[in-house]
Amino acid sequence: MASPEYQLQKTCITWFRFQYPRLRMALFAIPNSNDMSALNRSKAAQVMGKLKCSGLVPGVADLFFAVPSSGRHGLFIEMKAPRGRQSVSQKEFEKAALQNGYGYTIVDNFEQFQETIEEYLEND
């Protein structure tokens, strides 16, 4: 069964691609998740090992919007289920992103995602 965060992200991406077709390539997922529930434990360990060797960094946000706005180079978006909390590594990534001139936001519902994108683009 898909996680609430996955369902939220899927809904948000679908809306975005219909709403902003010219920017559809600018918003993309960063496959950096520990959610390997569909794989058995042995296979999940192999996949995570390969991902780490190829650049996986714990805490990286779920989405990146590669459009500059209001002096920011782009926007990282962390998807959370309602009442979800950031991990320590996610907080560290947020701090690094902000220090390096990127925006960072956490969204836990579709309406919040819509508002975030619309406000971000208005300030461009």
> What string of DSSP letters covers 12-79?
HHHHHHHH-GGGTTTEEE-------TTS-HHHHHHHHHHHHHTT--TT--SEEE---BTTBS-EEEEE
pLDDT tens digits, 35-85? 545 545 566 666 666 767 667 788 999 999 999 998 999 999 999 998 889
- Residue 74 domain flag: yes
CATH number for the domain spanning 95: value is 3.40.1350.10
Q: Residue 2: which pLDDT band, with cuts at 50, 70 and 90?
A: confident
- Residue 47 domain flag: no
Q: How many domains would you assign to the chain? A: 1
pLDDT value at position 27?
Answer: 98
> Which range marks the domain in which residue 75 is found?
4-32+58-122
